[in-house]
Amino acid sequence: MPNLPWILVEDYKSPGGWVRPEQHNARARAYCELLESGQILFFRELPLQLPPDDRTFLLAQEWSELRLHKNVSYRPSEDLLRGVSGDGRTIGRLHSILRNYSSQVVEFLAKFLQPYAGRWVLDFASFRPIEEDGRDLPLHKRNDLLHVDAFPSRPTRGGRILRVFTNLNPSKPRVWHTTENFASLARKYAEAAGLRQIAEDDSFIGRTVQNLGSKLGFRGMGRTRYDMFMLRFHDYLKENSDFQANCPKVRLEFPPLSTWIVFTDSVAHAVMSGQYAIEQTLLIPPQALVAPQSAPYRILEGIAGQALVS
Ligand SMILES: [Fe+2]
């Protein structure tokens, strides 16, 4: 069985100013190390400011699949809201809530995970108002199948995908399954998912970039072998019905108003149920990692016997 990947964080507020900066920094570094090694950091209460009025507004709207794409997403770098249609006032309020939430997460993480501060790429935030249990999505988009995250439009080139989630549901938990750690999944399945082919086929990258270049423009151009493999691995795990049915599973219940932080490129996860979550993603570049040996790209390079990030 997998080790329980859940660590309760209770000391994130510096009590009364007695913590010296070097103690604070050592603690922040220790939390980065835990996250990078595959732990989930869990907070019973909101560690950031999300006004009760905003939470009430998010819960009070009639969100339906018709008005939404997979999620509502917010792009902080462009201050752009995507994935929802409706009346201007509702959209405007949602936009300002997500803008505020995103900046609150950044402010909180700049202290809590200080080694990453200012070195991350701020990725999208999202609001997830649809009940996950019973959603009818195409296989590769299904949230209830175990997978590791990889983004087709945002290659990380060895960088890591850090996500902060809050369950805004006032009465129901958000339920995840997780399974064995990334090193163990990679040892068992990377070969079958095509790691060797991606690592060794010199024409593979060129061909793929060319194909994607026509579809995605410049967004597809920065992919490394690592990015290609992670996209493949995401799909492979979802397609593997034997793995989905028979792998060891740990059920995690995130209670109302709890928050959790996790590197979702290494912690395999499936969302089994839950409605109303808000989330911010940050990409942590390889140079900012405090435990680079735990990074998926290093684990995969060890298996492949060659560099995957160039
Ligand atoms: Fe995911």
Does the structure show a pLDDT above 80 at 127?
yes
Is the Cβ–Cβ distance between 289 and 113 less than 8 Å? no
Is the Cβ–Cβ distance between 180 and 2 less than 8 Å? yes
pLDDT in tens, 133-158: 998 889 999 999 999 999 999 999 99
In which band, very low, low, confident or very high, does the pLDDT at 65 lie, cut at 50, 70 and 90? low
Identify the pLDDT of residue 90: 87
Identify the pLDDT of residue 242: 98
- Ligand 1 centroid to residue 79 C-alpha, Å: 23
- Ligand 1 centroid to residue 151 C-alpha, Å: 10
The residue-averaged pLDDT of 219-245 equals 91
Spans of all domains in the chain: 6-11+18-304
Is 188 in a helix, a strand, or coil? helix
The DSSP line for 36-93 is HTTPEEEESS-SS---HHHHHHHHHS---TTTEEEEEEEETTTTEEEEE-S-HHHHHH
Does the structure show a pLDDT above 90 at 67?
no
- Ligand 1 centroid to residue 222 C-alpha, Å: 22
Residue 132 corresponds to which tokens in the numbers above? 């996950």
Beta bridge partners of 125: 74, 280
Is the Cβ–Cβ distance between 238 and 139 less than 8 Å? yes
Mean pLDDT of the chain: 89
- Ligand 1 centroid to residue 269 C-alpha, Å: 6
In which band, very low, low, confident or very high, does the pLDDT at 218 lie, cut at 50, 70 and 90? very low
Residues with CB under 5 A from ligand 1 (ion): 149
- Ligand 1 centroid to residue 263 C-alpha, Å: 10
The residue-averaged pLDDT of 248-276 equals 96
Share of the chain above pLDDT 90, in %: 74
- Ligand 1 centroid to residue 264 C-alpha, Å: 6
pTM to 2 decimals? 0.91
- Ligand 1 centroid to residue 211 C-alpha, Å: 25
Does the structure show a pLDDT above 50 at 102?
yes
Identify the pLDDT of residue 85: 81
- Ligand 1 centroid to residue 213 C-alpha, Å: 25
Q: Closest Cα to residue 283, out of 165, 100, 150?
A: 150
In which band, very low, low, confident or very high, does the pLDDT at 1 lie, cut at 50, 70 and 90? very low
In which band, very low, low, confident or very high, does the pLDDT at 159 lie, cut at 50, 70 and 90? very high
Domain 6-11+18-304, classified CATH 2.60.120, yes or no: yes
- Ligand 1 centroid to residue 234 C-alpha, Å: 9
pLDDT in tens, 287-308: 999 999 999 999 999 999 999 9
- Ligand 1 centroid to residue 93 C-alpha, Å: 27
In which band, very low, low, confident or very high, does the pLDDT at 17 lie, cut at 50, 70 and 90? low
Does the structure show a pLDDT above 50 at 74?
yes
- Ligand 1 centroid to residue 179 C-alpha, Å: 13
For residue 68, give the H/E element and its range.
strand 68-75
